A and B are shown apart, each in its own frame.
Chain A
């Protein structure tokens, strides 16, 4: 029995000549929320499908709950819960019938069902709506019901594949509160998302790009990778002109628009604002303020991806 909830070593999956997942290795500690980030097609879903025993790895190994997914995928399935972005429920069944069905699918007996169903209904906030057709539920309710269906059999590891897609911000927040409370009871949560703000809820993050793990660590660790680089938020009345003026300056690596302001990324070691102000003055422009901003996860993400693509080309 390994001490980790998920142990992945050199996991690889090829589809013909295409390598969807390329020698991926990581560990997930029990009771933590592990976030898996990356753009569409980065290999997140393929990785999850392998970990859930749905897809055979081409090479490498993965232990989920101490069980080898290649050797005994069915045993893995019994121990995990899975919920996808589609909140795959049966629309023509009521709330309670959906729970009964998924409970039956996981082999729960009557006693277990009688105990777990009210729990799931309560967790989803659907008390009193047991007989509502799932078709008539709004997105957020469906999402929580789908989560309820996936934890009926009390899995110790929960896989969530983009669980908040298409759900309003309030429901997303409530959903993360649920996820956090599940994790606090010792459930390991493995979640993929491309909402970077959500990634801040995760204890650890892995950033996937083109089938590989580009970077991995806690949110703080990832941001710290930027400590020797400064990003200025520049407020100006003419953002487009200012952007063009500052781009190409010796100390500037790149510029980007950020709302009505500008983000100016300095090269490593550069932190002087004077050259920036001078350049703006030369062009007859001016800045109201230069403010050092903390890089967001999005900044980190974009930076990692760009550096990888730069290295590849």
Chain B
């Protein structure tokens, strides 16, 4: 154990003196959080809307205010011709236009069908589809209200409506869903990269060989080498969790101790992954590449960070079972968003522990085998 301490102390000193690496370890993750946290946002609000009202009736005004009140649309222009719509759309001043035909009110009131036109900028198909969905819902709502008013002679809400309550994230802010994923993503990448580089650097410099000449067993060396990185990575992870709370309003509804426990297992697994990578390659450039490959892609795509696992094909779902972020994200989201009890996540905790034990075991085996 004295030997492991000697290794740990040495590693701490090296990290502390290598200011650049230390800063990278501590602050780059937070920087990424900022960058991605603001950039990754699926919410579509405040779509710039031009209104071409050819009807000028009470009903048309009611339809327009329904659009504006929805907050999905910002009425930025009132125009009088299609040419104006075209010109605004071309200059990207508006993203959508609502065209209300002449006599809409009269037609509707006399029992005929009338159509309003929604013009959308389709340069981003996903956004256009979503906006069209919003617009349709608004028109349908107004249409239903008109129907009832005509039948009963008074303005009344539709008899049957779906009243949604969105739990945990009532405003359906996608950031609340994404930020925990980002935390898992960033922690994984920085842990894997920093550990694998630190060991491969020793291989390149020749100190690795020198240390292997000494009577120290693999486990002591690995423990000594990992502890400092655990401390630094853990600090960095906590830092971005706080940043997520203050900058993105991520709530903390569950228990800190459960969160810290899950984070510990996750960080150890990530460090073990880095260690395993370092036993497979001999150059820093290759270590960097392999580290990114094993941490970035699976954590981004197969963890449920961005794409829901349940909608993946079954074989891909099977592969995602070995991605630790998959479990960490469930626990993290559960604790911070739902305030769930750690006891509900026994499976996930188990999976994280199993992953950490497996990669550390494999890495130790590889290290022991290097002795030829």
Contacts and interface: CB of A to CB of B under 8 A. Distances in A.
Contact of A104 (B9, B207, B213, B217): B9
B2 A52 contact: no
A88 B371 contact: no
Given A86-B205, A107-B2, A107-B3, A52 B213 contact: yes
Contact of B10 (A52, A55, A90): A90
Nearest to A48: B213
Contact of A82 (B2, B210, B217): B210
Given A78-B215, A88-B210, A55 B372 contact: yes
Interface residues of A, number: 32
B10 A77 contact: no
Contacts of A103: 6
Given A56-B372, A84-B206, A92-B18, A105 B13 contact: no
Interface string A116-147: 00000000000000000100000000000000
The size class of the interface chain B forms with chain A is 20 to 34
Contacts of A78: 215
B24 interface: no
Interface in A64-80: 73-75, 77-78, 80
B10 to A, nearest CB: 4
A55 B213 CA distance: 10
Give the interface SS of chain A, mostly helix, strand, loop or mixed.
mixed
Query: Main secondary structure on chain B at its contact with chain A?
Result: helix
Given A105-B6, A105-B7, A107-B2, A90 B14 contact: yes
B371 A105 contact: no
Interface stretch (A94-102, A170-178, A222-230, A298-306): A94-102
B5 interface: yes
Given A54-B372, A107-B215, A84 B10 contact: no
A310 to B, nearest CB: 34
Nearest to A101: B10
A89 interface: yes
A89 B210 CA distance: 9
B212 A84 contact: no
A8 interface: no
Interface string B68-112: 000000000000000000000000000000000000000000000
Interface in A206-252: none
Interface string B1-27: 011011101100110011000000000
Contacts of B213: 52, 54, 77, 80, 82
A101 B9 contact: yes
A258 interface: no
A106 interface: yes
Which one of B5, B18, B207 has the highest number of Cβ atoms from chain A below 10 Å of its Cβ? B207
A297 interface: no
B214 A54 contact: no
Interface string B219-237: 0000000000000000000
Contacts of A90: 10, 14, 207
Nearest to B208: A88
A80, A92, A109: most-surrounded residue (chain B CB, <10 A)? A92
A92 B372 contact: no
A93 interface: yes
Contacts of B209: 54, 84, 86, 88
Contact of A88 (B10, B206, B215, B217): B206
A75 B372 CA distance: 17
Nearest to A50: B372
B285 interface: no
Nearest to A76: B215
Nearest to B5: A104
Contacts of A74: 215, 217
A88 B207 CA distance: 5
Contacts of A55: 371-372
B172 interface: no
B206 A92 contact: no
Interface string B326-368: 0000000000000000000000000000000000000000000
A80 B210 CA distance: 12
Given A73-B371, A92-B17, A105 B211 contact: yes
Nearest to B21: A92
B293 interface: no
B210 A101 contact: no
B247 interface: no
A93 B3 contact: no
Interface string B305-324: 00000000000000000000
A91 B201 CA distance: 12
Contact of A54 (B205, B217, B371): B371
A102 B214 contact: yes
B214 A97 contact: no
Residue in A88, A91, A92, A104 with the greatest tally of chain B CB atoms within 10 Å:
A104
Contacts of B7: 101, 104-105
A75 B274 CA distance: 31
A92 B214 contact: no
A73 B212 CA distance: 11
A137 to B, nearest CB: 15
Nearest to B210: A88
B14 to A, nearest CB: 5
B6 A104 contact: yes
B297 interface: no
Give the 8 A-B CB pairs with smallest separation, nearest first: A104-B6, A86-B206, A88-B210, A77-B215, A82-B213, A88-B206, A101-B10, A105-B214
20 contacts: A54-B213, A54-B372, A55-B371, A55-B372, A56-B371, A56-B372, A74-B215, A77-B214, A77-B215, A84-B206, A86-B206, A88-B207, A97-B10, A104-B5, A104-B6, A104-B9, A105-B211, A105-B214, A107-B215, A109-B2
Interface of A: 49, 52, 54-56, 73-75, 77-78, 80, 82-84, 86, 88-93, 97, 100-107, 109, 133
